[in-house]
């Protein structure tokens, strides 16, 4: 037996904000969706975007996504929509704890940190 994946659920009051960020901005593909659940995926990463007005207005999550080619991911996002890059980490930074990282931020302050270590 082994654990294979983490599938975070991110709540949005306005689902179009989440879809614009992940699908249009970060290049995720929209899979299954109904009136309240939208599943987006890219490579081996799957996220559940859920419409919930109450939870969509609370503290926003920070999610880390590991990659084996941070330069390629950075160039793709920078080329696709550089405005999504987090103002505090909008370049690849070698962190003292050994990881290379950069981050993206959606309009509701959901933070996605891409890392390679």
What is the phi/psi pair of residue 24, to 5°? Answer: -70, -40
What are the pLDDT digits (tens) for 26-66? 999 999 999 999 999 999 999 999 999 888 888 899 999 99
What confidence score (pLDDT) does residue 6 get? 85
Biggest CA–CA distance in the chain, Å, is: 44
Q: What is the CATH number of the domain that holds 25?
A: 3.10.180.10
Q: Is 2 contained in some domain?
A: no
Question: What is the sign, positive or negative, of the torsion defined by CA atoms of 106, 111, 112, 116?
Answer: positive
What are the pLDDT digits (tens) for 70-103? 999 999 999 999 999 999 999 999 999 999 999 9
Rounded to whole angstroms, the Cα distance separating 106 from 53 reads 17
Range of the domain at 31: 9-116
CB atoms within 10 A of CB 115: 19
In contact, 33 and 15? CB cutoff 8 Å: no
**Which residue in this structure is represented by tokens 């996220």?**
47
- pTM to 2 decimals? 0.87
Q: Is 1 contained in some domain?
A: no
Tokens in use for 24? 């249009």
| Pairing of β 9-12 and β 37-42 | unpaired
Q: Is 56 contained in some domain?
A: yes
Tell me the HSE value of 37 on the side-chain side, using a 13 A CA sphere: 8
Count of structural domains within the chain: 1
Rounded to whole angstroms, the Cα distance separating 24 from 96 reads 32
């Amino acid at each position: 037996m082994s654990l294979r994946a983490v599938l975070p659920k991110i709540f949005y009051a306005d689902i179009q904000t989440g879809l614009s960020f992940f699908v249009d901005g970060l290049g995720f593909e929209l899979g299954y969706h109904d009136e309240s659940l939208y599943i987006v995926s890219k490579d081996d990463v799957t996220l559940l975007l859920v419409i919930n007005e109450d939870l969509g207005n609370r503290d926003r999550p920070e999610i880390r996504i590991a990659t084996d080619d941070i330069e390629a991911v950075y160039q793709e996002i920078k080329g696709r929509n550089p405005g999504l890059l987090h103002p505090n980490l909008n370049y690849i930074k070698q962190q003292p704890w050994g990881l290379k990282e950069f981050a993206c931020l959606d309009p509701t302050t959901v933070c996605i940190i891409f890392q390679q270590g």
